[in-house]
Structure 1
Amino acid sequence: MQQDQAVYGDIQFLTGSPHRRAVLSALCDEPARPHELCSDIDVTRTTIQRILAGFRERQWVVKHDGDYRPTVIGRRVCKQYSTLHEEVTRARRFGPLAAHLGPNADDLPVAALETGRLTVSQEGSPLAALSRFTEWLGAVEGDMRAVSPVVARPFNDIGAELLSGDTRIEFVIDSTVLEQSKANYEADLELGADHDQMTIHVHEDPLSLGVAVDDERCCVVAYDDGNNLKAILEAGRGELYDWATEVFERHRERSIPLDRLYDAENTVGDR
């Protein structure tokens, strides 16, 4: 326990001030003297001396001929801190997306978080993600495959417009979306169910995230518990595209085609 407390104290020391990381990083670039560090980092000499004393106490740096230089473990601490800093920075940026995707996104490729375009709805721009998703749908190229846990008039209108052209749509929804469509968008549901260019599947369990894939692009869509669109991550072909395609196919495999569901209901009704 004492060892753990000592390690925790070392972590607190390094993370307690951005100046400490800056000093260690500067020394990893090249050995330096306190006055050189003062001019580069813009802190007082007293602060620099305290930081260097803390590093020497932990054997992260040593002093040689007036210069301070990192030890091999000091370099490793600096490298791992940089990795942690990058990961926490990424977490802050993508938190609004990750918080609303549910467990189905646990294997979302990290590289996609670096290369994808992220749009988040937040205070001051509460409809930003919705507007961007609407734009994405309006620019669909070729055929589209999608999973959606919600139904809404704007999405239905864009879908009808796509079906008026050559676009083929394969769509996975859950039973809640199906019932909402029956109650509020009956004509739209009938259009999709009867249209030769559209296939609807009903997933056996409630859906928690949305994905959409066309011939060249994909997007991942996150909704809150009130079905408000909170964030959208989009990209061209690549890791995110492959992942979104796999998510769609996995959900489709666990779904029942709507026409088969209707046939079963009609059979029961005729008995």
Structure 2
Amino acid sequence: MESALEEIEFLALSANRVDVLRLLAERGHTRTELASETGASQATLGRILSDFQERSWIRRMDSEYTATATGELVATGFTDLQAIIETERRLRDVVDFLPAESMTFDLKRLANATITTPSQTRPNAPLSRLLELLEDADEVQTVSHAFNEQTITVVQEQTATDSQLFNGVFSRRAIKALAADTELRGRLEALLGTDNASVRVLDGDVPLAVMILDDVVYLLLRDEYGVLRASIDTDDEVIRSWAQDAVDDYWADATPLDLEDDEFSE
């Protein structure tokens, strides 16, 4: 009897085998239907169906073939493995920058996420993606270790025109950096002066930068030196729930920002 790895290799080495088993796990098919959907020749299909019957993965009923219970098990497992590998390949270049300890959801939830990385022609692509989403959002919630010039400018302008509601939790260091810059301090004061925005300060490190823009979750990924390496955004419901819990927890632990405090004085 072949080993489990040999069986996996048998299936994986032929795209036609994978497609045929997947189709038969969904419903019964005739050989003509299988040929039409896979593009495989009748000779190839004959070999595949014979091999599958030998393994008891499929059975024939009249002119149709259908997967057995174990055939469905193999098809489902292999499809899951493919999805995992495809997700891993997409995340491979950014995995070192993920706040993995804070991400309590299954990484498979990122399978359809949009990953944006800098390039020579678009070095600010991740930030540009954020600003694009930010300008269209009606409600924004965030927790972050940074609050950059472009972001606070958009938020301040949107909240000032009643186009957006904003709640943000930031590290004390991030707020100090803004307060030390005359122009940005003015933006921050204007933001705090509107009824559409609330800002809180958190002591200690903030290990992630997550923003909820209506139904979209946006993650900014930075390296150990604070350099922006990538961004990920998704409307996955499970990740949305995780992000909301994270923002709520940080919000509860933070204190309302008062720029009159001595530490933020000009």
- Using the size of structure 1 for normalisation, the TM-score is 0.69
State how far apart, in whole Å, the 1-side matches of 2:33 and 2:166 are. 63
C-alpha spacing 1:199/1:18, structure 2 compared with 1 (3 Å): same
Alignment of 1:172 with 2:164, yes or no, is no
Corresponding residue for 2:102? Answer: 104
1:207 aligned partner, one-letter code: P
Alignment of 1:211 with 2:211, yes or no, is yes
| Segment of structure 1 superposing worse, 77-86 or 252-261 | 252-261
Alignment of 1:158 with 2:154, yes or no, is yes
C-alpha spacing 1:202/1:57, structure 2 compared with 1 (3 Å): same
1:259 is paired with a residue whose SS is coil
State how far apart, in whole Å, the 1-side matches of 2:134 and 2:29 are. 55
Alpha-carbon deviations, 1:141-179, whole Å to 9, x = none?
3x6432123332211222332353446643212244245
Q: CA deviation at 1:69?
A: 4.8
Q: CA deviation at 1:235?
A: 4.5
Q: CA deviation at 1:261?
A: 10
1:10 is paired with a residue whose SS is helix
1:147 is paired with a residue whose SS is strand
| Segment of structure 1 superposing worse, 168-177 or 15-24 | 168-177
Corresponding residue for 2:202? Answer: 202
- Residue pair 2:170, 2:201 contacting (<8 A) in 1 also: yes
State how far apart, in whole Å, the 2-side matches of 1:31 and 1:193 are. 67
Corresponding residue for 1:269? Answer: none
1:199 aligned partner, one-letter code: V
- Residue pair 1:133, 1:232 contacting (<8 A) in 2 also: no
Corresponding residue for 2:49? Answer: 52
State how far apart, in whole Å, the 1-side matches of 2:14 and 2:159 are. 57
Which structure: greater helix fraction? 1
- Residue pair 1:220, 1:244 contacting (<8 A) in 2 also: no
Corresponding residue for 1:148? Answer: 144
- Residue pair 1:220, 1:234 contacting (<8 A) in 2 also: yes
Q: What 5-or-longer segments of structure 2 have no aligned partner?
A: none
- Using the size of structure 2 for normalisation, the TM-score is 0.70
Corresponding residue for 1:80? Answer: 77
| Segment of structure 1 superposing worse, 122-131 or 200-209 | 122-131
1:231 is paired with a residue whose SS is strand
State how far apart, in whole Å, the 1-side matches of 2:22 and 2:108 are. 25
State how far apart, in whole Å, the 2-side matches of 1:169 and 1:67 are. 58
Alpha-carbon deviations, 1:98-130, whole Å to 9, x = none?
76343322237977976xx73623657554442
- Residue pair 1:112, 1:239 contacting (<8 A) in 2 also: no
C-alpha spacing 1:107/1:186, structure 2 compared with 1 (3 Å): farther
Aligned length in residues: 254
